Amino acid sequence: MDIRHEQRIRIMQVLYNQDVRQISLDEALLVVSPFEDIAAKCHLILAQLPTLDALIEAHLTGWTLARLNAVDRAILRLSVYELTNEDLPAAIVIDQAIELSKEYSETDDILTSKFNNKVLDTIKQSVKYE
């Protein structure tokens, strides 16, 4: 498995645990095994959480952030952070979000990955290419 994909999985798990269990980031970091740069990136994401959430919320059609399941919130928060703060190709960020959705969020259909893809694509268009 690609090391960056493994990092994204662990960051998603930390964000999920912090959100669902309402615990501190330090406590959430203890849930996953140590991985280089996980803590630093999680701190950066949580520091920007109000901005990231507002951006996600603005691009949800017929949904609210609170209505999304916690896994999808974590995936979208990580992906929007990467789209807006890191010099990564948007196609790679979105592809990784779709893979995480397929691995961790979908049950019997592909609706979740399509939903997350649409949300991230509209955010990409409004943020990266204004």
The pLDDT, as a whole number, for residue 105 is 86
Average pLDDT over residues 58-82: 94
Q: Is the pLDDT of residue 42 over 50?
A: yes
Superfamily of domain 3-127: NusB-like (1.10.940.10)
Average pLDDT over residues 92-116: 86
The pLDDT, as a whole number, for residue 108 is 60
- Total Cβ atoms within 10 A of residue 28: 22
Enumerate the domain spans of the chain: 3-127
The pLDDT, as a whole number, for residue 130 is 42
The pLDDT, as a whole number, for residue 34 is 62
Residue 19 makes CB contacts below 8 A (sequence gap 6+) with 70, 73, 74
Cα 83 from Cα 33, distance rounded (Å): 25
Average pLDDT over residues 95-115: 85
Q: Is the pLDDT of residue 45 over 50?
A: yes
Cβ–Cβ < 8 Å for 40, 69: no
Cα 104 from Cα 126, distance rounded (Å): 27
Q: Which residue has the tokens 């996600």?
A: 56
